[in-house]
Amino acid sequence: MIRSSATVVALAAGRSRRLAPITTLASGLELGLTIHVLEGDRPGPTVGVSAMVHGDELDGLLIARELVTTLEPAELAGSVWVLAVANPLALEGVSRNTPVDMLDMNRLFPGSPHGWLSEQQAHVISHEFIDHLDVLIDIHCGGTFPWVDYCYVVNDEGLSRAFLPELLYQPADPYPGTTATYAQQRGVRCTVVEIGGGYHDQPVHVVNGVRGVLNQLRYVGVLEGGVERRAGQRLMRDLRVMRPRHGGICVPKATLAPGQVVPGGTELADIVSPYSFEVLETMVAPFEESIVVLCRNFVTRIHPGDYGFMIGDGATASRYED
């Protein structure tokens, strides 16, 4: 039996909140997690939906809110646990990293109760949330400026496909220390969703995100009904994160969209000095068949090493036949 320090607050029938403490801040305020639990009256798996591991990725929180407010426990077989804000201080600071220690929490799982604050948070998420799950759906997005749309294939390809993205990515060397790597080690079926960002068509991404998660719930048997499929889905195996060497303002050359294919050498954006207005560098598509995965469509501030674009290699990608 899993030991827990969480407090359970009962709400309406089949609904409760688990409040899991993390620590006390220097201000004296208590820091903790809020996990929404929707419990069906029939047996089935426990599915976790998490968002806001990175505090500048608002779309996941909006998708989580829609799920909590619209799912009916009586329709569920098993339960759905929703951790809408995995990193509360990062949400407050609109920051990818935890403001107190400026660490990326999604490289630190399973964390430590004796480490940096980000490690303490990761430890609580690991043991108060992920350890209770059979399935994990971790939702991310492009952040404040970029727009992205794809799913990682981790240990259940069908689960990732059921979110209905056009693009999927199966890396040869996954990032260590993520929610997904910990879940996989625990035998939890999981996927990582990347959808939206940059305040670009936000309502559309929320609708698509909710539709995708509901389809995943049907795939794992928590909801009744047939599993929707998307024709023409593409699996990428090589993906390049394009980060500028110089900071300044990122001036896109054209409006792009995830899934779009451009020829190698296509100019994507200029990095321009906001002081001299000279072009410091030009970012270009790296592959002969370059699949746009993440892009910037507005003039934005950019730091050296920021996510500028993500481009998949069409030569090593494949399409699903079914």
* Structural domains of the chain ordered from first start: 7-230 (3.40.630.10), 238-319 (2.40.50.100)
Beta-carbon neighbour count of residue 46 at 10 Å? Answer: 18
Write down the pLDDT at residue 1.
42
Task: Please tell me the chain's helix, strand, coil percentages from 3-state DSSP, rounded to the nearest 5.
Answer: 25, 35, 45
Is 35 in contact with 49 (CB distance < 8 Å)? no
Is 180 in contact with 137 (CB distance < 8 Å)? no
The secondary structure of 37-61 as a DSSP string is: EEE-SEEEEEEEEE--SSTT-HHHH
Is 129 in contact with 43 (CB distance < 8 Å)? no
Write down the pLDDT at residue 322.
81
- Which ranges of the chain have pLDDT less than 70? 1-3
Is 176 in contact with 122 (CB distance < 8 Å)? no
Two structure tokens written together for 91: 């949400």
Q: What is the CA radius of gyration of the chain?
A: 20
Instruction: Tell me the helices (H) and strands (E) count for the chain, helix number first.
Output: 6, 19
Beta-carbon neighbour count of residue 75 at 10 Å? Answer: 16
Write down the pLDDT at residue 3.
62
Give the global pTM.
0.96
Two structure tokens written together for 65: 């809110």
Is 36 in contact with 14 (CB distance < 8 Å)? no
Q: How far is CA 266 from CA 50, 63, 137, 148, 253, in A?
A: 36, 34, 34, 19, 9
From the centroid of its chain, how far is CA 47? 16
Two structure tokens written together for 123: 């430890």
Two structure tokens written together for 22: 């993390």
Euclidean distance between CA atoms 50 and 222, whole angstroms: 17
